[in-house]
Chains A and B, each alone.
Chain A
């Protein structure tokens, strides 16, 4: 992997940052001719069929590393309905115009060509854990020895937003893509002095610092483009869930007078016609509502009978194998662990899972002491960022991943230097996941 493997594109007139473009330069190794790609060892002693459901951060990483570590005899099929992946990470940049959606888009070609992953563009609709078979919408039947569910999250419906029309009027923008563009367009169309309401669901939800980052980016945007506008944050949680020091400072100092933060708020209903949020702190009339709904594991995870920790799937964090159904592993946001639901750690969980499956397919035991880590940079303004970081170590007593030091650490402040680091972190994270 080196710089030449990417088509590089300049993006963001104000930032002028370099990011890997959406399509990797094609390397014609393997795939078509039958020979294995260079990066895949010919034999490791591991052999079997693995189906991966979902091509997000967790799914792409596990598919890649199963091939890199498991070798040619570990045949990996990735089932993903979308032709490409659009990252939630840095997608707030689309809202303030600093980043294009295209710069957040990653193709599956590199997994296919460099790592010999069979990528099937289709939707998994059924899992038969007895026959060990996945059925897709397109009628494919995929047999597996091990199945990795990296299916992500589903959204609950907020009262008032039952219709598709209502949901289009009140975007969550919590999966990057059309929703992100819809929210961006609404912000652009908003009058000066307008009101943006952001609602935050109860934890756990995808990306703990994300909603607060969203509020900061929106506040910075309206300050510059919609003078007099306010961002009202209605948080279902009793307080800021992640990076409390930095976001408290951001709301109270950096964005003072723009962000109005309320904790412990219950949302009764959202009226998508009048754009009114009915909540425990009153009825708030808005110009734009960004309602982030409560979340649960993707429907197929529940339908397969994998959920046993509220709406999430319990797993053994030594291998991410389901605690209910054998031979099925659940990684990323759909699983219930002590780790956050976020892209960087999904990559980390995926590697533990790939290593464990490789060992299991070789007839060995799994690593008894895996470690993972989470690092997350969050923009506070269009030119500064903070970070949150934690290393997890396996605790054999509780059989959970324990944060070293007891809790995540956050940066002392937001800085321009960290903003640059954020862009560099993103490039390497995405290269590790998709290239």
Chain B
């Protein structure tokens, strides 16, 4: 967790902008620090957050919007909705990094 926070801090906002969505035969670029964490969401929300079913897609959504939603779910542990259970598992910094990851994927 600490390592991810550090990684994000180190890269900074301008470096984050330089990341490409993983498509189109890209050449080497540093992977997003939350790539592995965010891949935990793919099983339900589709590969790279692009859903092929009625479940919401996450790819290309604004990071702030995703983070707000995740935080709201994290703050309601008692509701026992499936996403609230998942949101409990992550720190705020992790949720912010995951939101950032999906905001950079092509919708």
Q: Could you list which residues of chain A lie within 8 angstroms of chain B, going by C-beta atoms?
A: 1-3, 6, 18, 20, 36, 38-45, 65, 68-69, 71, 344, 347-348, 351-352, 355, 367-373, 375, 387, 389-393, 404-405, 409, 411-412, 420-421, 423-425, 427-429, 431-432, 435
Contacts and interface: CB of A to CB of B under 8 A. Distances in A.
B19 interface: no
B88 A404 contact: yes
A409 B25 contact: no
Given A38-B24, A373-B40, A391-B90, 7 more contacts: A41-B25, A42-B28, A351-B39, A355-B35, A404-B89, A428-B42, A431-B52
A39 to B, nearest CB: 7
A42 B28 CA distance: 7
A375 B3 contact: no
B23 A39 contact: yes
A1 B55 contact: no
Contact of B25 (A1, A40, A348, A423): A40
Nearest to A352: B36
Interface residues of B, number: 38
A370 to B, nearest CB: 7
A428 B44 contact: yes
Contacts of A392: 89
B36 A20 contact: no
B96 to A, nearest CB: 15
Contact of A355 (B36, B52, B94): B36
Contacts of B40: 348, 351, 371-373, 391
A2 B88 contact: no
A373 B86 contact: yes
B93 to A, nearest CB: 11
A375 B26 contact: no
A1 B46 contact: yes
B48 interface: yes
A90 to B, nearest CB: 13
Nearest to B4: A369
Contact of B26 (A42, A370, A371, A432): A42
B45 interface: yes
B89 A375 contact: no
A387 B22 contact: no
B45 A41 contact: no
Given A41-B25, A428-B45, A20 B90 contact: no
Contacts of B44: 375, 425, 428-429
A111 B28 CA distance: 21
A435 B47 contact: yes
Q: By CB atoms of chain A within 10 A, which of B2, B36, B43 has the most? A: B43
A375 B44 CA distance: 9
20 contacts: A1-B46, A20-B52, A36-B25, A38-B25, A41-B22, A71-B28, A367-B3, A369-B2, A369-B4, A371-B37, A375-B44, A392-B89, A393-B89, A404-B88, A411-B82, A412-B80, A424-B55, A425-B43, A428-B42, A431-B52
Contacts of A427: 52-53
Contacts of A389: 82, 85-86
Nearest to B36: A355
